[in-house]
Structure formats: structure tokens, C-alpha cells
Amino acid sequence: MSLGNKLLNLRKEKGLSQEEVAEKLNVSRQTISKWETDQSTPDFDKIIPLCELYEITSDELLKGKLSSKDHKSVEVEADDIYDVKSKAKFIGCGVILYFVAVAWIMTSIPVYNMNPITSSAVFILICGVATYLIIYANMVYGRKEERKRTDKPQIVKIIETILSLVTVCIYLFVSFYSGAWFITWIIWIVYAIVVEIIKLIFCLRGVDYEE
């Protein structure tokens, strides 16, 4: 990008007219026009005033280099994207393990005729690993998010509240209707899976807009 194009873009970003810039720099409007069309270049004594007006450094104006502040901003943005992706991976693995655990408990005893105690032990172990991954992701990467925003998005709160109420109703209805209280607690595992899937979706969406 030429110096003239840079000056033109910077002026438009500031919402200034050529007359306003000319007045601030004590030059004519025609001079500003010539700078922006590359018919001439600013005198040395106008470089600093231009940089102060457009709030950039001389290196940014003349060489297109990022300032230290911009470098930090880019680095922070890259770290944020990495954190979001890492959190999504941990939560995703946890959700998958919950599905595996449910599939295991539903098939190990009736299909493979496994010992109920052994089957339950494996089920609890898988759920434990899944829970650890999700808790780890929220503790490690959640703290970083809290520094930027102290609360969850309102939509996530609403969805979690609605899901919890629906789950309670389903749990009580199924439990009272079937009397199988010893197994209906799996409904809460399904609830946890759904909630984590929703968080994962919002987490992945965060890559797209914070990106």
C-alpha cells in the first residue's frame, strides 16, 4: 500500500475531511489531496503531526510496521484463540466419553452378560475421566475467560435454566412412572452431556467472532 493510500485510509477512519486535516496541519486542502494521490509526499516536519493526528507511530506510517502495542494485541488474540480451541478439545473429549459411558452401561450387561459390579465400575471410571477433563478445561481456561468477562452470555444462562427445569420434570416423571429410581439417574448424565455440548458450541463460535 502506498503512502498516499495509507493517508487516505487513516483520514477516513478518523472521519475527517481534507479541509479539517489541512486546517490541523496548517497546509492547504490541495496539499492533502496531493499527499493522498501520491502526487507529492509530506515534508519531514509534517510527519510527526500526521502521526499524532492519526494516532500511529512513524514506523507504522512510513514502513507499515506494527507498534509494540499492536504486537501485544496480536499475541493476546492468538493466545485467546489457542485457549478457546484447547478448551473445546477437552470438553469435546469429555462429552464423547460420557456417550461411551452411557453406551457401555446400556450394552455391557444385557448384551455381553458382564458382571454388574464390573460393568458399573467401568462405567464410573469412564464418567470420572470425562468429568475430570471437563472440570480441568473449565478451571484452567475458564479463569482466563473470567478476566475478560465476569459472567456467562445471557443466552447460555437461559438455556441452562430451561434445560435444568425440563430435566427435573422428566426425571421425576420417569422415576415415579417406572419406579426405576436406581437407573433413572442416568437422565442427569444426559443433561450434563447436553449442557457441555451447548458450551462447546458457544466455545467454538467464540473462535469465529473473537478470531
Quick: pLDDT tens for 72-82: 444 445 555 66
Q: Report pLDDT for 31.
A: 92
Angstrom CA distances, 124 to 26, 93, 96, stand at: 77, 16, 15
Please give the DSSP secondary-structure letter assigned to residue 171.
H
Which residues, 6 or more positions from 31, have their beta carbon under 8 angstroms from its beta carbon?
22, 40
Q: What are phi and psi of 127, to 5 degrees?
A: -65, -35
C-alpha to C-alpha distance for 194 and 186, rounded to whole angstroms: 13
Whether the per-residue pLDDT at 143 is higher than 70: the answer is no
CA dihedral (109, 113, 114, 116) positive or negative: positive
Q: Over pLDDT 70: what percentage of the chain?
A: 78
Q: Report pLDDT for 203.
A: 63
Instruction: Considering only residues 141 and 111, tell me which one the structure prediction assigns the higher pLDDT.
Output: 111
Q: Report pLDDT for 66.
A: 45
C-alpha to C-alpha distance for 67 and 49, rounded to whole angstroms: 17
Are 53 and 18 in contact by the 8 Å Cβ rule? The answer is no
Instruction: Tell me, rounded to whole angstroms, the distance of Cα 55 from its chain centroid.
Output: 29
Which of 86-90, 93-97, 188-192 reaches the highest mean pLDDT? Answer: 93-97
- What is 3-65's CATH number? 1.10.260.40
pLDDT band at 154 (very low <50, low <70, confident <90, very high): low
C-alpha to C-alpha distance for 122 and 140, rounded to whole angstroms: 27
Domain ranges of the chain: 3-65, 69-210
Which residues, 6 or more positions from 199, have their beta carbon under 8 angstroms from its beta carbon?
91, 156
C-alpha to C-alpha distance for 18 and 139, rounded to whole angstroms: 52
Average pLDDT of 13-28?
A: 90
Average pLDDT, the chain: 77
Can you read off the three cell numbers belonging to residue 48?
A: 510527526
Angstrom CA distances, 109 to 44, 112, 113, 117, 119, stand at: 84, 6, 5, 10, 7
Least confident of 8-17, 34-43, 128-137, 144-153: 144-153
